[in-house]
Amino acid sequence: MAVPAGATTGRSIVLGVGGGIAAYKSCSLLRLFTEAGHYVTVVPTEPALNFVGAATWAALSGKPVSTGVWDEVARVPHVRLGQQAELVFVAPATADLLARAAAGIADDLLTNTLLTARCPVVMAPAMHTEMWLHAATQANVALLRSRGVLVVDPASGRLTGADTGPGRLPEPDELYRIATGVLLRGTTDQDLADRTVVISAGGTREAIDPVRFIGNRSSGKQGYALASAAAARGARTVLVAANVALPDPHGVHVVPVSSAQELLDAVRNHSREADVVVMAAAVADYRPTEVQDAKIKKDGRTEPPTIVLAENQDILMDLVAQRPGGQVIVGFAAETGDERSSVEEYGLAKLRRKGCDLMVINPVGADLGFGTPDNEAVIAGADGRIVRVPRVSKQALSHAVLDEVAARLRAR
């Protein structure tokens, strides 16, 4: 079975903007949308124009901007925008806007659009902490979610003035990843809601001395994309990150580690109650038997020092051996082919040897796999199912993997 590339360019998006100070961040989100080739119509509320003017939205989108239902009446914009959109993304969504959307009030162009939209709808709230935590706001959020709206939990951090706490709009890059994921899937379905997913990412480092280590080229991008995708699908997500220099994905609990032993301990600890474990990290197969306290110096040596290696424990096999009933375990096999076997054959052999439910087999090379924004893979199941994913973004591959995970969870 082949998975389509999942291109998301050239899509029709309505960007709704509520009347909050975080509206300035949506300018960057709009730029990300348009640079990706999407056709974006900005629909601000009247209060939003107090923060970012209509001229700015028109200049960035290349389209006129309206807030009311009486502009260009002959085109019936209060109906057409929602009918024709492939995604409605509201950022920021104020407490007032959430309340009006939940109540079905249609007193401006944006709330009319929300009522007529039959496409996925995403709302990213931003407000002061007390407003976000108020029972009325939480009830409105729960009601919207019950109707299929993806309401993104706000981030915690600096708000206006000296206030800090939950209520901050996530950064534009993270909002863009959420939007892209919804466009890739064509739905806001939270198929991993109430599930706990543990994902490892990056590459372990095995110390030789205080300045040297044995490591690998893994950037952690695929693992981070998986964590971001799992969180967007409703999962409680734990990311065990080995030596990764990337911003933490929104809504994900990140546990930093360095060595293979530290990664093993962290994954063991967090996987006991997990529904899914995805081992995307590149774990060093060997470690030095002795770690020098001081930097190894040349000191006129005629021969290089000898470093004796010991084999690290196989973390994936350890997890399989100790997994609780119903847990889905996913392994990753970064492979190169040779005269004996192909990349896929090596990966399938690893699937049989490791005993996990799924093995994501991806070829690696100078321009593929490590450090690149895209990837290709074969997702092989222990049940014999094979899904071949052509070269796509790591986000698209993440959703293809999680589709297979979700299907197995439903079957258990």
Please pick, among 50, 112, 140, 216, the residue that the annotation labels catalytic.
Answer: 216
Rg (CA), the chain: 24
CA distance 200 to 263: 8
Query: What is the per-residue burial (b if ≥16 Cβ within 10 Å, else e) of 132-159?
Result: beeeebeebbebbbeeebbbbebbeeeb
Give 67-72's long-range contacts (Cβ < 8 A, gap of 24+): 67/43, 67/108, 67/109, 67/110, 68/108, 68/109, 69/108, 69/109, 69/112, 71/109
Concerning whether 216 is annotated as a catalytic residue, the answer is yes
DSSP conformation class of 170:
P
Q: 251 vs 46, 164, 229, 300, CA distance in Å? A: 30, 17, 10, 53
Strands (E), 25-144: 39-44, 87-93, 121-125
CA distance 328 to 351: 14
CA distance 241 to 280: 10
CA distance 130 to 369: 44
* Both tokens assigned to 79: 């109906």
CA distance 137 to 148: 17
CA distance 354 to 334: 14
First-to-final CA distance of the chain = 23
CA distance 12 to 100: 24
Q: 78 vs 71, 84, 379, CA distance in Å? A: 9, 11, 44
| 11 closest CA partner among 181, 230, 144 | 181
CA distance 94 to 305: 63
Active site residues: 216
